[in-house]
């Protein structure tokens, strides 16, 4: 039985979610930035945003694993973008956190 080509595979959806994750995190950060002072809520929000970047990186890697079965179409470019953007943001965030 042939797979329905109009429905994206899990790996294509994971690739798309990979590059969308940093956009969602940046928008959430901009919306939640107006907290008056540093408190527990702001720390929790920061941790949640880092987890979202980590999830985006993980989804990109998982999507790349599906290339052998589903082909490159709809997976390779979005997954690479997601891996590069999320990886860069996580690297910068971790280096800033460890240097202070």
pLDDT tens digits for range 35-94? 666 677 777 888 889 999 999 999 999 999 998 888 888 899 999 999 999 999 999 988
Provide Rg for the chain, Cα atoms.
Answer: 16
In a domain, 74, yes or no: yes
- 29 has pLDDT over 90: no
In a domain, 38, yes or no: yes
In a domain, 3, yes or no: no
Check residue 1 and give its pLDDT. Answer: 43
Check residue 100 and give its pLDDT. Answer: 66
- 2 has pLDDT over 60: no
pTM score: 0.82
- Parent domain of 74: 11-99
- 3 has pLDDT over 70: no
Task: Give the total number of structural domains in the chain.
Answer: 1
In a domain, 2, yes or no: no
């Amino acid at each position: 039985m042939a797979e329905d080509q109009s429905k994206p595979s899990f790996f294509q959806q994971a690739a798309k979610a990979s590059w969308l994750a940093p956009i969602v995190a940046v928008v959430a950060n901009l919306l939640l930035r107006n907290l008056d002072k540093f408190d527990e809520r702001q720390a929790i929000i920061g941790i949640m945003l880092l987890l979202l970047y980590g999830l985006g990186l993980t989804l990109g890697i998982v999507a790349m694993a599906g290339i052998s079965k589903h082909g490159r179409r709809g997976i390779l470019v979005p997954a690479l973008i997601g891996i590069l953007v999320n990886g860069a943001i996580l690297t910068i965030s971790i280096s800033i956190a460890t240097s202070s």
